[in-house]
Amino acid sequence: MASRYSETYGEWKSNPEAFWRKAAGEIDWVQEGTDVFDPDLGQYGQWFPDWECNTCYNCLDRHVENGRADQLAVIYDSPITGQQRTLTYAELLARVEAVSAVLQDKGIGKGDRVIIYMPMIPEAVIAMLACARLGAIHSVVFGGFAAHELATRINDATPKAIIAASCGIEPGRVIAYKPLIDAAIEQAAHKPESCFVFQRPEQVASLEEGRDFDLGVLMETALAEGRRIPCVSVKATDPLYVLYTSGTTGQPKGVVRDNGGHMVALKWSMHNLYGIDPGEVFWAASDVGWVVGHSYIVYGPLLHGCTTIVFEGKPVGTPDAGVFWRVISEHKIVSLFTAPTAFRAIRKEDPEGTFIEKYDLTHFRSLFLAGERADPETVKWAAEQLKVPVIDHWWQTETGWCMVGNPLGLGALEIKPGSPTVPMPGYDVRIVDDSGQPLPANTLGNIVVKLPMPPGCLPTLWNADKRFFDAYLADFPGYYKTADAGVMDDDGYLSIMSRTDDIINVAGHRLSTGAMEEVLAQHKDVAECAVVGIHDALKGQLPCGFVVLKSGVEREHAEVEKELIKLVRDQIGPVAAFKIAITVDRLPKTRSGKILRATMRQIADGEEYRVPATIDDPAILDEITEALKSHGIAAS
Ligand code: COA
Ligand code: AMP
């Protein structure tokens, strides 16, 4: 089939407002407005400014009303606990209404923030939708973050309540969440009024009288009483959620997602980009704590009337490298979306794909990869093994959906290994130099997007308009700065090469080296430090910290290094995967005092590097090389 991509992209470009008005026809609105876009509102304009809606209604009620009541909405598959559970659309709606009732009884309503700290269990999806139903703004925090990170988010979002599970389960260990929550509330200046805890049998939490409530018990009571809670109408521009993501400092950025534009964009993407029809089973093997989980475990599939998978496990080790194929085959999944790191892990365990042969994958049509660079070797292996198109696509927490991809629903375009293909409608992607001048094809530069950003993208940062402007809009007036660098070829295919800031990507998780440096600097023996992301064959990148100790510190370096590793794990969390701390005598700097992080990374990765002309003392680079070698890292 010839692709309709060019025609569709052209249709958007010639009249963006007409394009998105048509896409908005797929959503049930409480009130349709007159304007599709108001350029004078907010930071760069706002979509659907005078429209009213409810996201939960579009995810659940309308499907129940229109014949999907008995279709599965959620399949929970948890190899880590050996459990499976399903919820039809009607059952999911009843549970969401029950939790809405529980929240409403404690005074939570439109505009209130609620932090959700839960593992991959259906109750996480229920909690998110219950907030959406009430017009409350949820902020999901990934379970791999430690108490301090949770406290930072509590202070910024000032939630009225926290919804949590008693524990998460990682291979070989149960993580009690309640002590982390208690510690976070203790640390935070803001104190949430209530904490709803879903008790899991693996570790039951003790509850504090008056503040803590057993969510499961309250939900079952509300269910038994048949509590019905109507959807609260909100403005399309009202926030649906705030999702914190790594910035360049220890203070994460609260990415705001609105209700209306978000629904329009995700609904459009389900068929046109992912090639999925309502009623089909779609699996995003991510976590509800990340943007992929928000958009494609919860909202996208449910808006589209699909069945979504809540998978609590890992690509390998739960119990083996065949678990993805078992899940795909058992639940008749048509499309999988995951991070390349998952495939690197599977390939490492099962290079010949022997597990794949054991399962019937006849329903499986496509694999989508995102979250980090999809290395061509991994893409090639996956395509050969699975015999389906393997589609790399590029996006960010900020955008909420794909900027550059290969639109299967419009008809697949030729795949060029190493490129996530072409811009989606809504995104006018350009490559510019540091002064904002356009660069010719095949030239590496800053990737920017012409404003306005399309529906679904962040309108601003939570309570931080100026930070939003400074971080994204100030450097290239009229454009959104993606902070990625890349090239566009003569056919308009984009390749993403690297970040232009100090964000690194570890197992598809976005992490700030600046935030890790702030933690290392707190250690009493550390004078200065630098963290860089070094290449890792499995996780893509790993953080590597260099520290200079204060003069007079006589302790064993190995002992301090161990403490530093523990400090990052305790402060940021295990997800930081910070396991390399190296003591050095001096850090390489320019004469003006700027630490040469890029050169240190090149040395660690064994890449050729040029000694920067502005370096203060070139001998320090040899010291770094030796230090890396002594820690078993192949340095150039
Ligand atoms: N709660 C608590 N801890 C968590 C956690 C959670 N929800 N998720 C991860 N962690 C812990 C892990 O147990 C690990 O701890 P450890 O240092 O004690 O081993 C640490 O955080 C690092 O996690 P991660 O980098 O994700 O590695 P992993 O060991 O969990 O998984 C692979 C490694 C190889 C399987 C990896 O390839 C993978 O698939 N990761 C998940 C990718 C993903 O979902 N990305 C989301 C974007 S689409
Ligand atoms: P996150 O906000 O966690 O989704 O991370 C976004 C960042 O991950 C982007 O800015 C890129 O640096 C990187 N990224 C995401 N998808 C891709 C991709 N398909 N190819 C290369 N890098 C990617």
Site to substitute for ligand 1 among 140, 314, 346, 378, most atoms within 8 A of C-beta: 314
Which of 106, 152, 165 has the alpha carbon at shortest distance from 131?
Answer: 106
Domain 504-630 carries which CATH code? 3.30.300.30
Which of 566, 549, 554, 546 has the alpha carbon at shortest distance from 635?
Answer: 546
Q: How far is CA 409 from the centre of its chain?
A: 23
* CATH (one of 3.40.1080.10, 1.10.510.10, 3.40.50.12780, 3.30.30.60) for 5-313+393-428: 3.40.50.12780
Ligand 2: atom nearest CA of 498 is 12
Task: State whether the beta carbon of 287 lies less than 6 angstroms from ligand 1.
Answer: yes
Residues composing the chain: 636
Q: Is the Cβ–Cβ distance between 305 and 267 less than 8 Å? A: no
Sign of CA dihedral 177, 179, 182, 185: negative
Tell me the sheet residues that pair with 432: 438, 446
Q: Is the Cβ–Cβ distance between 525 and 551 less than 8 Å? A: no
Relative to the alpha carbon of 578, which ligand is closest? 1
Ligand 2: atom nearest CA of 482 is 10
Residues 6+ apart with CB under 8 A from 281: 72, 75, 306, 307, 308, 309, 331, 332, 333, 334, 363
* Interval between CA 186 and ligand 1 midpoint (Å): 27
As given in the structure block, the two tokens for residue 352 are: 């010949």
Q: What residue owns the CA closest to ligand 1's atom 10?
A: 144
Sign of CA dihedral 624, 630, 632, 636: positive
Helix (H, G, I), strand (E, B) or coil at 1: coil
- Position 544 scores a pLDDT of 98
Q: Is the Cβ–Cβ distance between 153 and 107 less than 8 Å? A: no
Task: State whether the beta carbon of 372 lies less than 6 angstroms from ligand 2.
Answer: yes
As given in the structure block, the two tokens for residue 302 are: 């449910």
- Position 636 scores a pLDDT of 67
- Position 251 scores a pLDDT of 87
* Domains in the chain: boundaries: 5-313+393-428, 504-630
Q: What residue owns the CA closest to ligand 1's atom 15?
A: 574
Tell me the sheet residues that pair with 84: 77
- Which phi and psi angles does 545 have, rounded to 5°? -105, 130
* Interval between CA 198 and ligand 1 midpoint (Å): 22
Site to substitute for ligand 1 among 575, 578, 580, most atoms within 8 A of C-beta: 575
Q: What residue owns the CA closest to ligand 2's atom 11?
A: 372
C-alpha pair distances (Å), 54 with each of 29, 129, 131, 139, 234: 7, 10, 11, 17, 6
Going by the DSSP 8-state scheme, the letter that residue 151 receives in this structure is H
Task: State whether the beta carbon of 321 lies less than 6 angstroms from ligand 1.
Answer: no
What are the DSSP calls for 183-215, one per residue?
HHHHH-SS--SEEEEE-BTTBPPP--TTTEEEH
Task: State whether the beta carbon of 392 lies less than 6 angstroms from ligand 2.
Answer: yes
Task: State whether the beta carbon of 287 lies less than 6 angstroms from ligand 2.
Answer: no
* Interval between CA 339 and ligand 2 midpoint (Å): 10
- Position 250 scores a pLDDT of 79
Q: How far is CA 390 from the centre of its chain?
A: 20
What is the rounded distance in angstroms from the CA atom of residue 250 to the CA atom of residue 264?
Answer: 33
Dmax (CA) for the chain in angstroms is 74
- Position 178 scores a pLDDT of 97
Q: Is the Cβ–Cβ distance between 607 and 636 less than 8 Å? A: yes
Task: State whether the beta carbon of 541 lies less than 6 angstroms from ligand 1.
Answer: no
Q: Is the Cβ–Cβ distance between 552 and 527 less than 8 Å? A: no
- Position 249 scores a pLDDT of 79
Q: Which residue stretches of the chain have pLDDT < 50? A: none
Task: State whether the beta carbon of 53 lies less than 6 angstroms from ligand 1.
Answer: no
* Interval between CA 112 and ligand 1 midpoint (Å): 31
Ligand 2: atom nearest CA of 245 is 2
Relative to the alpha carbon of 120, which ligand is closest? 1
Ligand 2: atom nearest CA of 369 is 19
Task: State whether the beta carbon of 317 lies less than 6 angstroms from ligand 1.
Answer: no
